[in-house]
Structure formats: structure tokens, C-alpha cells
Structure 1
């Protein structure tokens, strides 16, 4: 049996009093796709950061191809053949794809046109070899998200990486692009590369990997052959308990129309049209999912409905009354709750504790204040009840929420929004970056809202999530709804085609 191309033994990493990685052993072989799973805070990203040189281990050793390796920086890792493709791309938007790939080569930008032409051919050949075609002479800002990821992967291959780490590689891709990526991973595998992939998406792990390692609370729990396990076992290993991850079955419960949007036109920040004649409807007791690749108007749709953005043309009718102008206070008072895409940027105040964050939308009510003064003792007791009800794990109520895990931040945000008993919940990527256990908790909250008669508009790029939860799925492309399907007849392939703007007979019919 061949020696592993990567072997990490007894790896320990501490951040102050927190042990992020506790005597972790990990190995991966050449010609293997190895998935690394774990909840937020489990330590998997820390381990991969030590392999790629972002962090240095406090204890333990790393061996590459059987030889001890000193990895003190990303440069050391690159020289040893280790490359990492981050979830948030490291690309210069104003430079071309080729310029990004050769960036950092000695004297790369003053050489002549012949050298540049040869580099273009070299990069195009490498991209074609691994099924990663993209226009090499086009600026990054003109490329799609999927094409930008291909540039990042080719950049890693161009620099000689034999060990390639992919951080949440499918989080920004359409289903079709995911299939293309998996085909590329198979080519890498056949070429003898070692591919290590971190992800939260069970179906994709099962579809693409050869082996799976699971971490929990800083420790390595198990390493399994993919062919010998299943999603339920992996979920149990990740969170230490049984987790329901099957598609939610339900009886039809939709009531009267709650939200009606007709021919809405909205401008984006830079002036172009973000929503172009968009129409949709959400009924009481219904979850309506909106599927689409980032940048097709989802952000602007959520902002309009929650009073954060004005609209040019069209009408919005909520709870039987026309909405005449954009007003955050008006949206709150009318019963619209909002879970934004970036919880720490526009949902929570990171430096404040749980009490203050829970009060943001209700501090004016007589339950929480009198004559302009907050009822401190009562508000603290109320906050404690919400923290316990929603199982928010925080050392103290006054602990800054930026110190909580992503899952606990999201549960706190939901606690505030759900406690208001909203008529409509606008939830944008509510489980983005969450592990399977935390995501399951969020899904339960959305289903509970549906059960109480609230309407839910679920905007997500996670097709599995939409298929699991939605009564109806709408597909948004270039600011318009171009397809619709109910829960029973939703088809992954057709929805994926529409997300990419491709219409065929079947897709057009949904």
C-alpha cells in the first residue's frame, strides 16, 4: 500500500483557552477525493489552514509524501505543492484571468507580447486538460462566479499544486456548474492529484468523494469509505445525535393570499435594473422558495419587501393593503420579519449582548419600555426565556454576539424575528455557512412558522434546502421569475437549467 501524500499526526492548535484542534490525525492519498465534514467550530477549517500555511500547529507533525514538512506560511505550502481554493476568491477584479494566474511570477508584467501570448496558450491548455475552460483575456469582473472559481483552480494547478484543498467549493454554483466541478475533480483524481474538500452538503459529498473524515469539537471522530456510509450516519457523527435530513412531507395548508407583487421594477445600487417586471404571490401557511444564482435580483427583492429599498414601478399588496412607499418601520409594524443574508452586517450588532439584539425591533412597545425608559429587569427575564426556548448557547446574556458560533448567532436572530409572531418571514440564505445540526434547527423554525399560518419567502441558492422545505419553488433569472413548480413536481434538473437561464420544453413547463 502506498504512503499517504498527506499525513497529519497529533495536530494541536489553541487560540487562547480554546482548543480548536485536539490531537487530530488525518491522512489523504494521491488519486483520492477526500471530504472533511464537521459542524461550525469543529476544527476542520483550522486543520486545513495549518496544512495550507495560514496557521502554524502548536503540536504535532505534517508529512508530505512520507517526508516531514515545515509549513510556516502559504508560500512554504505552495513550494511544497499544497494549494488552497478559498470560498471567497482571492482574485484582482480589474486584471484578466491570465494576469491573475501569473500574478506573482518574477517580472511577469513587463515582458513582451510574445511571452504573454505563450502564457495564454499554456493556461488555456491547462484549463482544457482539466475541463475548466474560461476566457483567459477577460477581466475577472466580467466573468461569472463559476468561471471565477475555475480561474482559482487553474491558478493553483498552474503553480504546481499536487495537493489541492477546496473550501466549500459548491456554495456559489448552479447545479449544472456543480456537475462540471465534480467532473473536474475526477480528472484531477485520474491525474494523481490529492483533492481535499470541505463542505456541509451531504448529497455532494456522497456523489463526489472516495473517503470522508468527520470532526466534532476539535477531535477527529471517524474516517469512512464513502461507499460504506450514508447521509444519516454522517449527520449523526457530525452532531452526536440523530438528525432529520429528509425532504419535509406536508399536507397542503396554504390559505388566503398574504403578499402579492405585480410587475415590480427595481434599480440596483449601480443603477442597472435589478428586478424587471417581477411578479409573485405568497399565501398564509405557505413556504415559497426562490431559487437563483447570486446577483439575479434576490438581494433587491428582499430589501424592497422589508422596506430597505424603493421601487420604480409595479405594486406590492400585503395583507390586503397596498404598500405605498418603502419604510422599515412600516414593514416591522405590519408584521414582516427579516432574516438577512449577512447576519453580522445587517442582522445583529456584534459588540452588543443578547438582550440588546433581541430588543432591536420591539423596544418601543409598552411591554419593554415606559415613558422612554427600558424595563431592564423585565427585558432581561424575557431575553433569558427566548435564549432558552431557541437553545441559544451563550456564556452570558451580556456576551457580545460576535463571540458566538454562527449557528448560535442565527438562532438568536430567529428568536428575535419569530418572537414577534410575524405574518410574513423573508428569510435570505438562512442556513448559509451552518452545519447540518444548526441548519436542521433553522428548518424546524421555518416549518413551525408555516404551521402557525405565517407566510415564508425563502430565498436560497441551496437547491436541496428549497426542495426540502418549499410548497412552491420560483426560479429568478435576470430580475424576473421564469419558472414555477409545486412541492410534489419540483425537478432538480429543470430548476438547475432555469437557474442558469437555459429554457427547454420541460423546464419551461415548471
Structure 2
């Protein structure tokens, strides 16, 4: 592999209008034809740096060089014209259009000056897919394809526009092991054809497998760039966080007790008529972490919504401590000691315009009344500062506005609110998605600690390593149904889980119901 520096960021400084210094003295050198990992805690400055390189943000200081020439990248359009493409974590596709239509969207080939040249659109899409060995039907509508194919569509969109440098933000976050393996094969083909890939990920095992070099960021600056072959996951983690990080969570054998929460034949049809929950039944017991695995969109989010009172099922029952729930409201479920860490911390988990303290007490104000009207401010202040300390929330004080925090620290605020005081049943939906090793470690340890204290935990996660690390039992959802149940996850593998997630393997309904 050649050592030509194709993209260089030098002494980048980015200060947001609210005073947050997101990047300071950031340096990055990327070689032509390499897969270069960028890793760091949430709030370390990775996303800001990538937005600067893709023209979505303008730095206050520093220089960017492309093929040795200093450049100004002041818009995504300019970045694309320079051969820099970006595949965002949240896909930017139009579901009602075909893959080919999405690939050329905004750069459609025309005939007679105005009309879409449909034949040329198909030719361009098919030639590009064939060149990079993407096995994809470009006539298929995006709404009908898997997450893996949607990601391939995003990659082809960038390649058709001439991208030689591809920035990929958490590309495997929602992929099965089989889809990840396919993606890595495609990335190696891109690399072999001279493309350069910047690979942003929190998954250390994937960085070790696919990347040539890794740049580590911490607290808004770059700490080190090293060859992957010369480092280790433990070393990378320690440098990211600035301390020793425990990558493997030791768990005592589960002391499983009685059923705390039972769901019977839950059925839910969404607004477009798709059956997202199809007679789902499960039993969650005290002292147990039961995980829910599945490719995104197979009913996991709807299950979380129903089990927390956010959504009312069209059919079925929920019993908590043997009492049937009649009123589907979050307050009713909280009254029955069900707490919820939602997937979307920005929209659902936090009131970002309020303070850390206000968010922490949002669900428990009534416990801190002094008399009938006034709040016991002194006790609340003490508790808030204690939780800030216990959950290692990086902030000036509990009076700081949540919007000023990084994603990882926002998630810690949610965890501090939900995982303190009277915790008996926990619904944790993607509790560590998109957050750094340090924050993930803290939240995972807390879930295990509460499980050991007798809490029942339902862990909904797309991170199969997290599922295998934390859970005692596991269900797999496919097409709105539970298509597998593993009472003991000790010998379960990511590959085996992946087959059930893709629907390649299925347990019969009788088998599932008998075990549950």
C-alpha cells in the first residue's frame, strides 16, 4: 500500500456559538488506499471533524489539504466535487423510490434537456454496482430491502458522484454479523481499487479486523495515530478514555426469581398497516437480563413502546406482578416500578433545554415535596450532585443545560434518572448505542448490578456483543414475531443469532411458547 497522504487536517479548531470547543489542535493524516479508523468517546470531537471534512461545518482555525493542496470545503456539494463522500449513520434515502432512483437523486441523467433518462439511470446504477461487486437489484424499492442493502445504496450514491474518499459513520451499528461480513468484503474491494475509507466506529473488534491505521481522539483533540497491527483493543480503549477500561464484564450466575412482567399475545399494527407485533408473548423474571435481538424494524421498538405504556396494543395483555394493566400510560407503568431507557435520548429521553437536575427528577418530583407544595431543594441538589458523580457525568454542575452535553453524557443523565430509586423492572432500548466505551462500561455495569440486586431487565440491543456479554436469556424477533428463545446464552454465538435475525433459521411457535 502506498504512503501518499490524500487528506490532511492540520491544527483544526472548532468553537460552537455556545462556547463549546469541539475540536482543538486536531491533526489527521489519511493515506490513499487505506481504511483508517477514527475512534473516541462521545464528545471527543469525531463527528465535528467529519462534518468539517465534508463541508457541513466551518472551522475557526487550521488547514485542510487534499492531495497536498490546501482547500476550503465550505459545503457538502464542494466536498462531493472534490471526491469526498459521506455515508451517514442514519440513512438519507427516499423509501418510496427505487434503489436506482436514490443512487442518482439530485444528479439525474436527462434527455431532451428536462426529462429523466430512465435507461441511462439504470445503466449508471448497474455499472457502478457491478464495478464494486455489489450484488444488488437496482429496480427494487428502498422500502422493501434490508438495512444492509440500504447501506449499499448509500455507498453507491457516493461512488456514482465520484467519491474517492468515503467517510463512514458507525456503518455496522444496525447490521447483522452476516451483513457486516458482506460490507467488509465490499470495503476491501473499494480499498483494492484505490479508494480511501475513514471508518468511524465504537466496535474495537471491527477496527482490529478491517482497518489499517487508527486515530484516537479524546476531549476534542487527537491523542495518537498508530498502525492497527501495532496496538490492541485494550490499549485503544485506555487511550480513548484516559484510564483503564474493563472490556469484559464479569457476571455472577443469575439468581432468577418470580415473573415480574408477563406479556400475552401482544399485537400491534402501525399507521401504514404493517403488523409490527404479531401475538408476542414473553415472561421477564426478577434477577434476569433477557435480551431482545433482531434486525431493526422487526418489532423491537414497538415492543418497548407497549411494555412502557407509550403505545396501546390492539390485542393482548400485560401483567406486572400478577396485576393486569388496564391503562396504557407511561405514568401507570412507572407507578408499577417499570423504568425505561429509550433509544432516542435527544427526542424522548431528555428535555434538552432543561438542566441536568430537572431531567433527573422529572419522574420523581412527588417524592421530594416539603409539605404539599414546595420542593425540598436542598435534598434535590445533594442527590443531583451525587448522581452526577456516581454516573461520571462530565459537566460544570447539575445546573448545566442538557443540550450542552455530549451524547454519551446525555445518556448518563437518562441512566441516572432511570436507574436510581425503586428500580424493579427495567426496559433498556439500545442503552449504549452511539456512545463511547467509558459511558457504555458504566451503564452495562449498572444493569448487571441491578440484576444482581433482583431487578428484571429487558435489554433491546442491536449490539450482539453487548447481548452476549450481558444477557442470561435471549429472544430474537423477526417480522413482528419471536422466532427464537434461548433460555441460556452461555454458548450462543453472534453467528447463530445472525441466522435467526435474518429469518434463515426459525424455532417453531410451539417451541418458543413451550420455553417461554
- TM-score range (shorter-chain normalised) is over 0.9
2:247 counterpart residue number = 245
Cα distance in 2, alignment partners of residues 302 and 138 from structure 1:
30
1:374 counterpart residue number = 375
Cα deviations by residue, 1:380-407 (Å, 9 ceiling, x for unpaired): 3332332233222322333221212222
Runs ≥4 in structure 1, deviation > 6 angstroms? 109-114
Identify if the C-alpha distance between structure 1 residues 78 and 465 changes in structure 2 by more than 3 Å, giving closer, same or farther.
same
| Preserved contact between residue 102 and residue 108 of structure 1 (Cα < 8 Å) | no
Cα distance in 2, alignment partners of residues 364 and 505 from structure 1:
46
Cα distance in 2, alignment partners of residues 142 and 259 from structure 1:
34
Identify if the C-alpha distance between structure 1 residues 75 and 312 changes in structure 2 by more than 3 Å, giving closer, same or farther.
closer
| Preserved contact between residue 426 and residue 458 of structure 1 (Cα < 8 Å) | yes
2:301 counterpart residue number = 299
| Preserved contact between residue 111 and residue 117 of structure 2 (Cα < 8 Å) | no
- 1:101 is displaced (CA, Å) by 2.0
| Preserved contact between residue 484 and residue 507 of structure 2 (Cα < 8 Å) | no
2:73 counterpart residue number = 71
Identify if the C-alpha distance between structure 1 residues 118 and 106 changes in structure 2 by more than 3 Å, giving closer, same or farther.
closer
- 1:209 is displaced (CA, Å) by 0.6
Of 176, 181, 184, 2:183 maps to 181
| Preserved contact between residue 216 and residue 222 of structure 2 (Cα < 8 Å) | yes
Of 362, 365, 375, 2:364 maps to 362
| Preserved contact between residue 109 and residue 117 of structure 2 (Cα < 8 Å) | no
Is 1:95 paired with 2:97?
Answer: yes
| Preserved contact between residue 6 and residue 64 of structure 1 (Cα < 8 Å) | yes
Of 127, 130, 133, 1:131 maps to 133
Is 1:345 paired with 2:352?
Answer: no
| Preserved contact between residue 32 and residue 195 of structure 2 (Cα < 8 Å) | yes
Partner SS, residue 415 of structure 2: helix
Of 479, 487, 496, 1:494 maps to 496
- 1:108 is displaced (CA, Å) by 3.4
- 1:212 is displaced (CA, Å) by 0.8
1:443 counterpart residue number = 444
2:13 counterpart residue number = 12
2:162 counterpart residue number = 160
Q: Give the RMSD, CA atoms, in angstroms.
A: 2.3
| Preserved contact between residue 254 and residue 452 of structure 2 (Cα < 8 Å) | no
- 1:111 is displaced (CA, Å) by 6.2
| Preserved contact between residue 124 and residue 133 of structure 1 (Cα < 8 Å) | no
Matching of residues 137-156 of structure 1 within 5 Å: 137-156=139-158
TM-score scaled to structure 2, two decimals? 0.93
Cα distance in 2, alignment partners of residues 90 and 313 from structure 1:
34
Partner SS, residue 58 of structure 2: coil
Q: Which runs of 5+ in 2 are unaligned?
A: none
1:30 counterpart residue number = 32
Cα deviations by residue, 1:172-193 (Å, 9 ceiling, x for unpaired): 2222111111111000011011
Matching of residues 97-496 of structure 1 within 5 Å: 97-105=99-107, 108=110, 115-365=117-367, 367-485=368-486, 486-496=488-498
User: Which is further off, 446-455 or 405-414?
Assistant: 405-414
Of 64, 71, 81, 2:83 maps to 81
Partner SS, residue 364 of structure 1: helix
- 1:35 is displaced (CA, Å) by 0.6
| Preserved contact between residue 40 and residue 407 of structure 1 (Cα < 8 Å) | yes
Partner SS, residue 365 of structure 2: coil
Identify if the C-alpha distance between structure 1 residues 19 and 113 changes in structure 2 by more than 3 Å, giving closer, same or farther.
closer
| Preserved contact between residue 13 and residue 58 of structure 1 (Cα < 8 Å) | yes
Identify if the C-alpha distance between structure 1 residues 327 and 25 changes in structure 2 by more than 3 Å, giving closer, same or farther.
closer
- 1:114 is displaced (CA, Å) by 9.5
1:54 counterpart residue number = 56
| Preserved contact between residue 99 and residue 153 of structure 2 (Cα < 8 Å) | yes
Partner SS, residue 307 of structure 1: coil
Cα distance in 1, alignment partners of residues 234 and 481 from structure 2:
37
Cα distance in 2, alignment partners of residues 24 and 109 from structure 1:
46
- 1:315 is displaced (CA, Å) by 2.8
TM-score scaled to structure 1, two decimals? 0.94
Cα distance in 2, alignment partners of residues 125 and 390 from structure 1:
52
Partner SS, residue 148 of structure 1: helix
Identify if the C-alpha distance between structure 1 residues 105 and 304 changes in structure 2 by more than 3 Å, giving closer, same or farther.
closer
Cα deviations by residue, 1:58-81 (Å, 9 ceiling, x for unpaired): 332222222332322222221211
Cα distance in 2, alignment partners of residues 104 and 114 from structure 1:
11
- 1:241 is displaced (CA, Å) by 0.6
Partner SS, residue 419 of structure 1: coil
Partner SS, residue 263 of structure 1: strand
- 1:25 is displaced (CA, Å) by 2.0
Cα distance in 2, alignment partners of residues 106 and 345 from structure 1:
34
- 1:132 is displaced (CA, Å) by 2.4
Identify if the C-alpha distance between structure 1 residues 77 and 375 changes in structure 2 by more than 3 Å, giving closer, same or farther.
same
Cα distance in 2, alignment partners of residues 380 and 388 from structure 1:
12
Cα distance in 1, alignment partners of residues 111 and 86 from structure 2:
24
Partner SS, residue 21 of structure 2: strand
Q: Which runs of 5+ in 1 are unaligned?
A: none
User: Which is further off, 158-167 or 112-121?
Assistant: 112-121
- 1:253 is displaced (CA, Å) by 1.6
Cα distance in 2, alignment partners of residues 55 and 446 from structure 1:
37
Cα distance in 2, alignment partners of residues 70 and 346 from structure 1:
37
Cα distance in 1, alignment partners of residues 179 and 333 from structure 2:
37
| Preserved contact between residue 248 and residue 469 of structure 1 (Cα < 8 Å) | no
